[in-house]
Homo-oligomer: A and B are copies of this chain.
Amino acid sequence: MRKDAVHNRERLLEAARRLFADRGLDVPLEEIARTAGVSIGTLYNRFATRKDLVEAVFEDRAATVAAIAERALTADDPWEGFVAFLTGVCELQAADLGYNDLAARDGKGIEPMLRIIDRAQKSGALRGDVTLADMTFVIWGVAATVRATVRTAPGAWRRHLALTLDGLRSTAAHELPVPPMSISEARAAMDECR
């Protein structure tokens, strides 16, 4: 790739990064190009679809989440680790409206939770009747609260999350009315998010 092309790609990613963060994934592509100081044609040259651009912008997030998961797994208290992981992911959501959208749509986001859930359940702190698929409720819920409150009451999501976490403790458990979603149902539901 020619060096001007590399440079433009960089500028586009930078612009997209900022605009996605401020306004979510649905920002107009023309605006991203304008902000980057290139033409819309160049944007299409570098990224054939919006999806490609989004993937490039959030390429490193999987690693970030993996790191948060790693730290969570080494926490002394499995429950604290569980809380730390969800808090960490939700902080990413709150800090970037683009990732907030992405987390709600992208199934891979919660996969690293499997071992964290397992450990927290084995410790007895996390209720035994929840599954990975139930974590989508946490993500969707906090995503909705972040979207609604980011301008008017930033930080409110922490309260939402805390209430949700209190419902996930073994000590809070009451019988659940319906079976958990299957993984494929959860995945399909995330795809449905727009």
Contact = CB atoms under 8 A, between A and B. Distances in A.
Interface string A111-144: 0000000000000000000100010110011011
- Majority secondary structure of chain A interface residues (helix, strand, loop or mixed): helix
A6 interface: no
Interface in A170-194: 171-174, 176-181, 185-186, 188-190, 192-193
B188 A152 contact: yes
In this complex, the interface size class of chain A, counting residues with CB under 8 Å from chain B, is 35 or more
B130 A137 contact: no
A153 interface: yes
A178 B159 contact: yes
A163 B176 contact: yes
Contacts of A193: 147-148
A152 B192 CA distance: 8
A180 B157 CA distance: 10
A145 B152 contact: no
A36 B169 CA distance: 50
Contacts of A166: 166-167, 172-174
Interface string A149-168: 10111011011101111111
B178 A155 contact: yes
5 contacts: A136-B148, A137-B145, A141-B164, A152-B185, A167-B167
B167 A165 contact: yes
A19 interface: no
Given A145-B141, A181-B149, A181-B156, A172 B162 contact: no
